[in-house]
Amino acid sequence: MRALLVLQIVSAAGSICGIGFYLLCIWSARDDLGRKRKSAGVSGAHGAFAPGVSILKPLRGTDPQMYESFRSHCLQDYPEYELIFGVSEADDPVVPLVQRLQKEFPNQSIRLLMCSQQLGMNVKVSNLVQMLPLARHGYVLINDSDIRVPRDYLRRVMANLGDSGVGLVTCLYRGIAGGTLGSRLESVGISTEFMPGVLAARQIERGLHFALGSTLAIRREALQAVGGFEPLLDYLADDYELGYRVSRAGFQVVLSDVVVDTFLPSYSLRGFFDHQLRWGRSTRDSRQWSYFGLLLTFGWAWSILAVIASQAARWAWGLFATALLLRLLMALVVGWGVLRDLQVLRDLWLVPLRELVAVAVWIGSYTGRIITWRGRKFVLRDKKLHPQR
């Protein structure tokens, strides 16, 4: 009986903490919408500051709808920019796509570089180190190969760098599902779990102190202040680490008001869990205490335990209903209100299941250090990749 009472108390406390987190995310989303309205009122058409920018896109293999995502970068309403693609192997299947892009847009500066050296465990960063010397502009923008952007993307992102105190600009993103259950769960997780967490972290930490791979727009001074890309050669979460280091160097890391799309593979359930586990172990290694604190954000999952532990007491059902309602409300406020993700409306019924999956991934992330990335297995230790032996 005593153990059961302890379990009731713990599950009730976990439910209340999770409900508090849902409310924090809802408030953070409203704050973000307020910032966007204020920014729109001040900057007008987002075109006041538009310096030349070099877009670096390190590539390896192909992603869903990759060519259309590449094209979106060539259709920018922006005065001066260049695109530099980098691959580590001449026979990479992405090479014909870049060559096709060069033919379709002959007047756009598009270069393809063969990055023959592997300078560290992270091939993406290794390519970036070799690509950077080709960049001719004072501002550099990196984003993942599967990112698709709106026509005013560069104007809205680069406008933030008109403030000399801003060193790096990043973006929220939506995951466009590939059709399978695994892909839809991934998409729902991005819009209703990961992005709310980003907004909440900005509130709690009084600013952003990390960055997202969807966009890393950085001024050269900030990049030089952190030693360039070389210090990141063995890091898995290179985007997070770059933002963290820029923030530590005294520059602001800010969130642009533009939301971009990432196109997700048609994950099998196994592929989905492998990807989630890599993500979880990477985050655990990068933000140890914050990641451990996620345990207190699973309000609806805790409320299920409270119902079981209390033998379906009325107070437990009250927590259950409150947690479920606020979890769904958080999904709508962030997923639709901030991200304008129509998939959230379609897949709202998956949100409770997604929370239970998140609990399983959180537990699984503490069961080992091995991750699978681009078909290779690594040991993750002290934020860095090590070959599995």
Q: Are residues 263 and 318 in the same domain?
A: no
Strands 376-381 and 147-148: unpaired
Q: Are residues 140 and 113 in the same domain?
A: yes
Q: Are residues 244 and 266 in the same domain?
A: yes
For the whole model, what pTM was predicted?
Answer: 0.91
Q: Are residues 63 and 163 in the same domain?
A: yes
Q: Are residues 321 and 197 in the same domain?
A: no
Per-residue pLDDT tens digits of the chain, which is 389 residues long: 788 889 999 999 999 999 999 999 999 999 998 888 776 654 444 458 999 999 999 999 988 999 999 999 999 999 999 999 999 999 999 999 999 999 999 999 999 999 999 999 999 999 999 999 999 999 999 999 999 999 999 999 999 999 989 999 999 999 999 889 999 999 999 999 999 999 999 999 999 999 999 999 999 999 999 999 999 999 988 999 999 999 999 999 999 999 999 999 999 999 899 889 988 998 888 888 888 999 999 999 999 999 999 998 999 999 999 999 999 999 999 999 999 999 999 999 999 999 999 999 999 999 988 887 777 788 888 888 888 77
At 55 the pLDDT is 98
Strands 384-387 and 376-381: antiparallel
Q: Which domain holds residue 172?
A: 50-284
**Residue 36 falls inside a structural domain:** no
Name residue 216's beta-bridge partners.
142
Q: Are residues 187 and 215 in the same domain?
A: yes
Domain count, the chain: 2
Q: Are residues 22 and 75 in the same domain?
A: no
Q: Are residues 54 and 199 in the same domain?
A: yes
Q: Are residues 177 and 320 in the same domain?
A: no
Sheet of strand 376-381: strand arrangement: 370-373, 376-381, 384-387
Q: Are residues 198 and 307 in the same domain?
A: no
Measured CA angle at 242 (ends 239, 243), to 5 deg: 90
Q: Are residues 271 and 343 in the same domain?
A: no
What is the distance in angstroms between the CA of the first residue and the CA of the last residue of the chain? Answer: 48
Letter string b/e over residues 181-215, b meaning 16 or more CB atoms within 10 A of that residue's CB: bbbbbbbbbbbbbbbbbbbbbbeeeeebbbbbbbb
**Residue 38 falls inside a structural domain:** no
Question: Looking at residue 164, which CATH number applies to its domain?
Answer: 3.90.550.10
Enter the tokens of residue 220.
């050269």
